[in-house]
Amino acid sequence: MSTLLPLIFQLLFLMVLGFFLRKKRIIDDRIQKGLSEILLKAVLPFSILMSSNFDYSYDFVKAMIAVAGAAACYYIFGLSAVHFISGKLNIDRKERVVMIMVTIFANTGFMGFPIMDALGGEAGVLLASVYNLVFNAFFYTYGVASFSGKKITPQNLVMNMVTLSSIVAIIIFVSPFRIPSIIGNTFSVVADMATPLAMIIVGSSLATVDARKLISDKKSFLSATVRMVVFPAIMLLAVMIVRLRFYMMPVTAMAIVIMTSLPSGLLNVVLSEQHDCAPKFCVRTVFLTYIYMLLVLPVMMMLCTYLFSW
């Protein structure tokens, strides 16, 4: 706990910094888009690659399988539940698609990797990359098809830098090969930028939101509450029950819970605008989850540290 509180303070400070940089117009839309591109296409891939550079162990392979299984169960049962709930509501088809997407698909790459790096180091990032691969399998098939109404090819599933680097990192970890120190140290310099960049971008994004409009939308409030409160609580309870019967490393339990506790992915906004699928509703809901995040994520981090320390 003594190491977690400074970490939470650092993350909040970086978000506040991004907020004020946006308010002072030091960061604008063009700069924020550029920072996001740098993070996704340059910094995160190096962070993921470096996560594979520690000693192989059979226990950690089991941890990777556990994370993949937990993520798959979450997406299967989560999609089924939200499909059922949204079908009972008086909303049109486009709003229903957005409600399902923003409730189920979190920002596992953009925020998940830096936060798991801060909490669990290289092991945390590698487990986050496994969770994110399952995310990609569902998002780039079911998710993209829901927004566009088109079938998705395997090429769409794997042809992005985060997915490719995740696959390479897993291959490196299970092989006898390790990245040489002279190369690894250089990669680490780039990888260390992930957390500051991600949190500054999130803070900058929050600065553009009108909080009064967020609160007045009941559908957005419902979706954000399920995304940020209900699903994380269910996953936390499920992991606690499993750990009563089976051994699970603390970093494994933490990865499963934290990756399920993240705010909605910004890719939802991009696709909703691209396909004219209730984009205003999508923006309101996604950013409301970021408001929730300011309270929920520190609480979940503290609970995980307390409950999974054994």
The DSSP code sequence of the chain is -TTHHHHHHHHHHHHHHHHHHHHTTSS-HHHHHHHHHHIIIIIHHHHHHHTT-S---HHHHHHHHHHHHHHHHHHHHHHHHHHHHHHTS---HHHHHHHHHHHH-B-TTTTHHHHHHHHHHHHHHHHHHHHHHHHHHHIIIIIHHHHH-S---HHHHH-SHHHHHHHHHHHHHHSS----HHHHHHHHHHHTTHHHHHHHHHHHHHTT--HHHHHH-HHHHHHHHIIIIIHHHHHHHHHHHHHHHS---HHHHHHHHHHTSSPBPTHHHHHHHHTTSSHHHHHHHHHHHHHHHHHHHHHHHHHHHHHT--
Query: Which CATH fold topology does 4-54+79-307 show?
Result: Na+/H+ antiporter like fold (1.20.1530)
Domain spans in the chain, listed from the N-terminal domain onward: 4-54+79-307
What pTM did the predictor assign?
A: 0.81
The confidence score (pLDDT) of residue 213 equals 65
Give per-residue pLDDT as tens, 259-285: 999 999 877 876 786 678 887 788 788
pLDDT value of residue 225? 95
Question: What is the reported pLDDT for 151?
Answer: 63
Reply yes or no on whether the pLDDT at 51 is more than 90.
no
pLDDT digits (tens, 9 = 90+) for 104-153: 999 887 788 888 988 888 889 899 989 988 988 888 778 878 887 766 56
